[in-house]
Amino acid sequence: MILKLIGHTYKYECEKVLRLFFPTAKIEFAAQGAALDPSADTVVCERAETPAGTVYRCRAHIDGRTAAAERPGTDADAVIEENPIATVMVEALKELTGVMPPWGILTGVRPSKLMRKLLASDGDAAERIFTDTLLVRPDKASLARRVADAEEAAVQLSRPDSFSLYIAVPFCPSRCSYCSFVSHSVAQAKKLIPSYVQRLCEEIDATALLARKLGLRLETVYIGGGTPTVLDPMQLEAVCAALRRGFALDSAREFTVEAGRPDTVTPEKLAVLKSAGVGRISINPQTFSDEVLAAIGRRHTVADIYDRFALARAAGFDNINMDLIAGLPGDTPEGFAKSLSAAVGLAPENITVHTLALKRAAALSLSETAVFGAETAAMLDAASNALPQAGYSPYYMYRQSKSVGNLENVGWTKPGRECLYNIYMMEEVHSVFACGAGAVTKTVSPATGFINRFYNFKYPYEYLSRFSEVLERKQNIAAFYREEKD
């Protein structure tokens, strides 16, 4: 598929909008002035100056069919200049495909952050801006508003000197077919784990020293992956000991560990986490169907989910999250409803409903057995109806590129049990320091909201072989805060 831009440079935005309709298409950009092959699939996006003013146009020719849209420029276009181009693209592509993206022209990860910004500047008109200007479906605009309102109390807890901490353990028992995260199966990478834990603890020590020198206050800790509970009890204890050694965990508001794969959860590991002060864990079914679990490459069973959840309750964990994924291969709306009912029956404090997102790094591709648009949307609708009736409300959300149906991921919570880390990460309220392979530190200016990112090496073997550089890069954090003071 060829994308041609005329009279503007909104390359990134146009590609993102095109992917709302064709998520796996190979997109090439036409050179300026180049003639287009009339038989090729093409989308032309134009910003033209005419005697009557600025005009925005889109013409799409795909699979032998053609559609076009045009609109004049307005004074409001100066606020977000790419919006009118995105609007005519959506109008033309909707005519061509019969599909209207539920989030309209929004392509960003954080619709609730935008809603919060609009609520601050435009008050109750924010939802109308979502529906009328951004073409967001009313129910999705309402969802973004509900999430934005729910997040506000947590946001107010953050102070100018606040930060959160993320610890990456990029290993799993096996790789799920839909996964695109940097994670390695234990079978392939088991020999790396002891050295990885040692270096991770050293990085935690260095990060703690840096945070103390900067006079920062730790708000939340999140150990994610991968699956952190692939580590054995002694390795988990070593990581937790490094955290307690370096940080004031007793005064932190929250300490979460993903025990996501039920087949990695044991009484011994739960005891280590409980002793270390972990207050929140995730035990993630993804589905309560043994057939679907097998189809996505999970090695646990539905019986294992129930068993490990009971173990966690017996160990004293009273704040548990469970993930479900809408759109998994082999699943159906009826099957998803059963999974939803099963999760609600266990009464975890949080239920997070994800939409399947299929990246190029995933073994499963959109051309295979994934459930598409309408059925996945029905699954999310079922969650939106059932969870409030069971006492849950939406408290954070985000979106991923190439998600089935251009849909969203939503965290649902019982009253007062919101995961603060999830809110802080998604709303980019304060800095998040990150340790481990593939981890990304995100520094946020308390004064301006300016964000900078500092990346660790992506793969564990690279993280280990170039560890001195990992520690050197930590000084970028100190430099960021020095510049803030200047």
Q: In three state form, how does the secondary structure of 150-174 look?
A: HHHHHHHHCCCCEEEEEEEECEECC
Find where tokens 């959160």 sit. Answer: 164
Q: For 114, left (φ over 0), alpha (ψ -120 to 50), or beta?
A: alpha
CATH architecture of 158-473: Alpha-Beta Horseshoe (3.80)
Parts of the chain with a pLDDT under 50: 182, 361-372
Q: What pLDDT score was predicted for residue 296?
A: 87
CA separation for the pair 435, 376 (Å, rounded): 35
Contact (Cβ atoms closer than 8 angstroms) between residue 236 and residue 208: no
CA separation for the pair 299, 289 (Å, rounded): 12
Find where tokens 């409980």 sit. Answer: 274
Name the DSSP class of 251: G
Q: What pLDDT score was predicted for residue 73?
A: 86
Q: What pLDDT score was predicted for residue 374?
A: 84
Domain at 1-100, CATH from 2.60.40, 3.30.160, 3.40.720, 3.30.70: 3.30.160
Q: What pLDDT score was predicted for residue 321?
A: 98
Q: What pLDDT score was predicted for residue 33?
A: 81
Cα 318–322–328 angle (5° rounding)?
A: 175
Q: What pLDDT score was predicted for residue 120?
A: 95
Contact (Cβ atoms closer than 8 angstroms) between residue 411 and residue 426: no
CA separation for the pair 367, 141 (Å, rounded): 30
Q: Which residues belong to CATH 3.30.160 in the chain?
A: 1-100
Q: What pLDDT score was predicted for residue 303?
A: 97
DSSP H or E stretch at residue 254: strand 254-258
CA separation for the pair 274, 284 (Å, rounded): 18
Contact (Cβ atoms closer than 8 angstroms) between residue 100 and residue 136: no
Phi, psi torsion values for 112, nearest 5 degrees: -70, -30
* pLDDT tens digits, 264-291: 999 999 999 999 999 999 999 999 999 9
CA separation for the pair 56, 72 (Å, rounded): 6
Q: What pLDDT score was predicted for residue 369?
A: 40
Strands 2-6 and 254-258: unpaired
Could you give the 3-state DSSP secondary structure of residue 45?
A: strand
pTM over 0.95: no
Q: Which residues belong to CATH 3.80.30.20 in the chain?
A: 158-473
Length of the chain: 486
Q: What pLDDT score was predicted for residue 184?
A: 57
Q: What pLDDT score was predicted for residue 77?
A: 60
DSSP H or E stretch at residue 434: strand 431-435
